[in-house]
Structure 1
Amino acid sequence: MMERWAESLRGARENGGDIPPSGFRLVRKDGSPRDVVVSGRLHGDKAFVMFEDVTDRVRVEAALRENEGSLRRILERLPVAVAVHEMGGAIEFVNAKFTASFGYTLPDIPTLEAWTLRAYPDPAYRAGLLKMWAEWIKNSVETGREMPGGEYRVTCRDGSVRTVFITGIVTSDMKVVSILEDVTARAEAESSLRESESLYRALVETTRTGYVVLDMEGRVTDANREYVRLSGHRDLKEIMGRSVLDWSAAHNKREAWEAVLMAARDGRVMDFELDYSGPAGGLTPIEINATLVTRGGRPRIVGLCRDISARRKTQAEILALNRDLEKKVEARTAELLRAQKMEVVGRLAGGIAHDFNNILAAIRGSADLLRMSLPDGAPAEAQVEDIIRAAARGSSLTRQLTALGRKSELKLEELDLGAAAENACRMLKRLMGSGVKLETRFPPDAGRVTADTGRLSQVVMNLVINARDAIEAEGTITVSVFPAEIKEPRPGMKPSAPAGRYAVLSVRDTGSGMSPEVMSHLFEPFFTTKPEGEGTGLGLSIVYGVVAQLGGGIEVDSAPGRGTEFRVYLPVTSPS
């Protein structure tokens, strides 16, 4: 490192005194490394040197090398301009800061050639830059390291010219990630410094980092405009001679004073975060690094302060994204467990139903023989008929259990959902009580679906019968069909249906409604809210199974006292 620095000084003496920016890794007193860019100017026998801490930028570049894909959202929010192009020259990404800095959007510069023609209009300048860029890419591919970088003049879309420090790296999948930092302010400051002896003031006033000098009591003796802004004020005069505690947030005043004492005692404070509070009451999060120096023969605390609002915002957004992802994973896991539970119970029920059906067949056969052997008017004839009717009901129940226990063979055909629902409702109207009204709405353009007519009728019948049973005295059941489109997964839909066009069967009643607790068990086999002996708890489980086989989904909207609506989504085959 010392040899590189010596070489930089020799080059500066030979080239007018400017010390070009160079990257170095320094080790702080506590042993932690920091990446810095060192530049400056020779003035007589003295070298005025500026150290810019670029550790964060270096970390960003390292993160880009590790995983480009997962950091694309973060790249979009970075406070530096970033572009990604392929080896063939096609530019595939520029972030918001890139467009904000230079005015160009991706359609303006789809290729590297288009970018260089507009950003570097001078042919000779463009040729030199492209040659250097090609060498940097080649070296990055061979070594796997980031490019050394350099400052170049970039012509913006509005014609203005910015000085930009350009560097980058070639990723493992041969994409070139370029980082373009607008250093126009710094370049202009350096130019001003070359023309003037006021190096100190020009330097601290053009940096975007707040600069403050405190006495040993924490009172301000000097500061730049950025620090004045960070403190919530407009003019240096407003804060001169005042304690930094005056604009430290109330919840941070003690920590702020302890930081002043630490700097005076230990000689430095590193990466200290606190909130500044302006006169208007707004909070600005600040990161402070301070060191103890001697100025004018007196000990002074020199602090560098950075506004970390963007960083905290990004961290909060990442945390929010993580929380949202965790919730989605939990919901999907719960849905999977419910589906597995239904499958296991269904298989068990189907197995039992098969054996039970054999027993019922024997009972039914024996009862038929007994009935034929009885003379007309025999006293036992009524009891035998009861046995036959009970066996028939048992057979019906075993058929439902069998359907629940396995995926039945469906006789699929393309049909009009509205017409199929209308046929089912026609049979159901006579099953409604005297106080229950069944209304239907079947427009001709709801859509056609691929389904089993019998199974679809069973879905309609089960939903309508459930709706009838939910109405205590008088009420209305409305069955309708309408088209819909799912653009993204719907959390409440079970099973979850993919994006696409659907025909929707809606069954809505004005009954008593359901509580969230009841709705959480709605499609579980054998779950019922009806009195013992009045329900099997299989109707909605069978509806769930049929809809799942047809690739659809079910939404339920209900609450105690305001009725219930079931919406069955079935994939559309073609418009009606």
Structure 2
Amino acid sequence: MTGNNTIPGTGRGAPGADGLRGPRESPHPLLGAYLSILREVPDGLALVDSGGGCRYLNPAFTRITGYTREDVPTLSAWFERAHPNPAYRRNVQDMGQELLQGDRNALVASVVCRDGTVRDLEFRRAPVWDGCILLVVRDVTEQVLTEEHLRQTTSELSAVIEAFPDLFLQLNTDGTILDFRAGRLAKVPLVSQALLGRRVQDVFPGDVGEALLDTLQQAVRTDAPAASLEFSHTEAGALRHYEARVMPLYGMRLMAVIREITERKEAEQELHRHREHLEDLVAERTAELERANQRLEHLLYCIETTERRAAEEWLDSSIEQGTLGVAEAEEARITTDASGTVVIVSRAAERLTGYAGEVLAGKPIWSLFLGGDARELLSEEVLGRGRSAECVEGATLVRNDGSRQPVCISADPIIDAAGTVVGMICTFQDM
């Protein structure tokens, strides 16, 4: 390879290994040193004359590409072997011509090496003597892969930024805004181009700026993501709410990710108002139930007192008349509240009506009878005027099975200590 990679003109009139005859002159004293340097440099070197012939290839060129000077005697032969794809070869030839003419400083192209591998090479030119050009070749395959990976990563990060409704601020440790990016969905820019170079704590009001500065300093001290910070900012007369998170970056820089949360805060406030309203409704309903329980307890107390008094009167009357212990017809009793709604049903009333007590509870008592006389008697006379009343004739009880039973009805009002009618006790018997 060394014999094939020589520069013509190293001997007196003898043709060089490239087939060209050099000038008849003694070699320069430093030419051997120069050739030694060219052979040892890590970059590939190719000396091309004005006619496109390759007059010299150093060992590094062969090591990088695998080609010797016999493989690429001319640039045309190089293009044929290094770029077998015709379309790609035409593009590279056009750029190569610009490089040789000095219209461009460098060229990076994919090259098919002699062993069939494809590598990315960088070509740079340096003009030398007699119109010759020295091409410096460097293997940049790893660099190209790194740059491609970097472009891919940058593209992915840009897509992420575009996809999120966030504002991304790059800051110094003192809070100076170095750069910003806003996602496509960000509704309010918050920071404009005119604010670049200013400190973020000076952009916002004092309390918000100080809170942001504390968050930045915390991230610098701990080298860990700081806790989120929520703040408000007035824009165009409207109060907007934001959440900021600070992330440490390489080189003592920070990234502040700011997201508008106005809709979320408004939803939370609306939910809080609904919760308070619900709590008020629950408290009001609880108070109503408490009052209803008190009324029911009062009614039960009045019923108990009334029935105890009636039992005592019946016992006294039976003793006076000497009829104690004599069996009487079974009496059915139903106790109601002031509206005539059934509250308590005796066993005898269950047997007489055919209804269970829990079924009758909550129904109006006059729904058990046919005709309007019983309702008028019970609602107007007993509950309305607070008088005891009897309906001896014309009352018909409708039983659970649909059968009808003539009954005799008597009713007594239940009156509390204030003289208010709070219910009644209806007693009825078979006729």
Work out whether the TM-score is over 0.5. no
Q: Which has the larger radius of gyration?
A: 2
Could you say which structure has the higher helix fraction?
1
